[in-house]
Amino acid sequence: MKIAVCIKQVPTREWQPRIRDDKRWIRDEDVSYEMNEPDAYALEEALRLRETHGGEVVVCAAGPARVQQVLREALARGADRALHVEDDGPQAADARVTAGALAAAMRDEQFDLILTGLQSDDQGHAQTGVIVAERLGIPHSTIIMEVQVENPSTGSGQAARLRVKRELEGGWFQWLTMPLPALLTIQSGINQLRYATLKGIMAAKKKEIRKVPLPAGLAPSQEIVALALPSRTKQTQIIGGSPQEAARELVRRLREEARAL
Ligand SMILES: Cc1cc2nc3c(=O)[nH]c(=O)nc-3n(C[C@H](O)[C@H](O)[C@H](O)COP(=O)(O)OP(=O)(O)OC[C@H]3O[C@@H](n4cnc5c(N)ncnc54)[C@H](O)[C@@H]3O)c2cc1C
C-alpha cells in the first residue's frame, strides 16, 4: 500500500503568540516549531498500515525551508521518503492554495491512501485534506478514529477497501466502508505514538526529500484582515439538583460543552 501523509509545521504550544504591528501575521522571529499534533497520529497510523500490509510511506509538507525539520523528524520515525513544496512567499496561503500545491505534488505518485491531520494546531481550518481529495478526484472521510483494510492483497480477488470509524458529536461514532484510493483526516489519539530512535535519526539523514516547486496560478480565496489574541474570560455556572444529578450534569457539560473529557 502506497501511503502519503501531509505534515504541517506549526508553532509549539508553549510559544506565546505575538502579533505584528500591521496585525496581519504573527511576529515569527523567535518562534520554535513542531509537528502538528494530529499529523503525528496520521504518520503513526500510516507506519502501522505499512507494517501490516507492506508498501511505503511518503511524507509531504508545504512551506519555507524550515519545514524540512518536521519532514526529517517523520523520516526518523520511519517514513521512507519526503516531498517538500518549498516556497518562502505565501505566509498567508490559505487551505485552498496549500491543498492545490500538495495535490499537484502528489498527483503523479498515484497513492492508494492519503492521510492528513484533522486540522492544524495554528490556523485550524480543517479544510486542507478535504480540498486535496477534491482536487485529486478521490473520496474522503473526516475525523477518523480507526482504520481497517478489508480484502488486502491476499489473493482473494476482491478489491481492497477501507472500513473506517468516524467521530461524531456527543460521543457517537459512525462506521463507513470506502474504496481506494481515498483520503482520511485523522483525529488525535487514534493510536500510541512512537518516537524516533537514534538508529532512525541516523537513517533519516540519508533518506530523500524531493523538492517540488509551488505550481503557478494558485490564488488564495481568503485574506487575513486582522489577527487578535483571545482575551481571558471567566464564567461561573451553578449546577442545581441532588449531588448525583449535579455530578451527572457536570460530566455532561464538561464532555459536551467544555469538551474537556
Ligand atoms: C508554499 C507554501 C508556503 C507556506 N508558508 C507558510 C509560512 O511560512 N507560515 C505559515 O504559517 N503558513 C504557511 N503556509 C500556509 C499554511 O502552511 C497552511 O497550509 C494553510 O494555512 C492551511 O490551512 P490550515 O493551517 O488551517 O490547515 P488545516 O486545513 O487545518 O490542516 C489540515 C491538515 O492539512 C495538512 N496541512 C495543512 N497545511 C499543510 C502544509 N503546509 N503542509 C503539509 N500539510 C499541511 C495537515 O495534515 C493538517 O493536519 C504556506 C503554504 C504554502 C503552500
Where do the domains of the chain lie?
A: 2-229, 231-261
Question: Which residue among 5, 67, 85, 98 has the greatest number of ligand 1 atoms within 8 angstroms of its CB, and so is best to mutate?
Answer: 98
- Kindly compute the dihedral angle of the four CA atoms of residues 214, 219, 222, 224, in this order, to the nearest 10 degrees: 60
Which phi and psi (to 5°) does residue 134 adopt?
A: -60, -45
Residue bearing the CA closest to ligand 1, atom 49: 117
Average pLDDT, rounded, for the chain: 93
Count of Cβ atoms closer than 10 Å to residue 78 Cβ:
20
93, 123 in Cβ contact below 8 A? no
Lowest mean pLDDT among 8-17, 75-84, 128-137, 140-149: 8-17
**Is the CB of 187 inside a 6 Å radius of any atom of ligand 1?**
no
Q: Sign of the C-alpha dihedral, residues 177, 180, 183, 184?
A: positive
Burial tier of 63 (Cβ tally within 10 Å: 0-12, 13-18, 19+): buried
Closest ligand 1 atom number to CA of residue 214:
1
Which architecture, in CATH terms, is 2-229? 3-Layer(aba) Sandwich (3.40)
Per-residue pLDDT for 90 more than 90? no
Count of Cβ atoms closer than 10 Å to residue 85 Cβ:
21
